[in-house]
Amino acid sequence: MKLKPRDLEKIADLTLGHYNRSAGDFWQGTRDHDVRQNIEALLKHIEGSPPFAILDFGCGPGRDLKVFSALGHLAIGLEGAERFAGMARAYSGCEVWQQDFLKLDLPDGHFDGVFANAALFHVPAQELPRVLLELRATLKPRGVLFASNPRGRNEEGWNGGRYGVYHDLETWRRYLSAAGFEELAHYYRPPGVPREQQPWLASVWRRAA
């Protein structure tokens, strides 16, 4: 069933409301997560010499934004939840744009890399092609997109007060390829455990010419 504009507004409002209400607990539960593997996966595929212009898409309270900045990169956060955006500014010292994922306003050809860690799965499947094209447009030529999402069998709907889509690898590949990206790498997380204990699918993509 096609989602109407009012359905999309509800999805955004309720999902962002969930994060705003649980911002403190979310930060305490995630601030020590080790995602160096993901950060390195993005940075090692960016061409040219640092510092790089990085968009931390769905930056949350700013954990990874601060890491990119500490590494010397020109990092900007993008976050839909008002409380997270404020926390990220205070914690990282970086510029943070508060924008709904479904109503993006991004500069063209600006970023060397986009880091979308645990963010894009909140975009309804029918809107994903448009959002991916917007992310492609904000990348410089041959720029790099990193994405990590909880994987599944393409289920879509509400889960614990948040809306999510749980793509498998083949479906995710189709979306990214159709949006003009070339796959560089993919892997499952966390590392070092059997596949059934790896709920996260991470992938790295280059903006095709």
CA distance 159 to 121: 12
Torsion 189-95-101-208 (CA) sign: negative
**Quick one: pLDDT at residue 28?**
87
Q: What are φ and ψ of residue 79, in 5° steps? A: -150, 135
Q: Do residues 52 and 69 make contact, with C-beta atoms less than 8 angstroms apart? A: no
- For the cut 90, the answer to whether the pLDDT of residue 84 exceeds it is yes
For the residues of 72-108, what is the DSSP string, one character each? T-EEEEEESSHHHHHHHHHHH-SEEEE--TTS----T
Q: What are φ and ψ of residue 67, in 5° steps? A: -65, -50
Question: In the chain, what are the domains?
Answer: 5-207 (3.40.50.150)
**Around Cβ 188, how many Cβ atoms within 10 Å?**
17
| Neighbour-count burial for 98-116, b at 16+ CB within 10 Å, e otherwise | bebbbebebeeeebbbbbb
- What mean pLDDT, rounded, does the chain reach? 96
156-201 per-position pLDDT tens digit: 999 989 999 999 999 999 999 999 999 999 999 999 999 999 999 9
CA distance 8 to 168: 23
**Quick one: pLDDT at residue 32?**
83
Q: Do residues 207 and 136 make contact, with C-beta atoms less than 8 angstroms apart? A: yes
104-118 per-position pLDDT tens digit: 999 999 999 999 999
**Quick one: pLDDT at residue 209?**
78
Q: Do residues 174 and 34 make contact, with C-beta atoms less than 8 angstroms apart? A: no
**Quick one: pLDDT at residue 168?**
98
pTM for the model stands at: 0.96
46-77 per-position pLDDT tens digit: 999 999 999 999 999 999 999 999 999 999 99
CA distance 51 to 1: 45
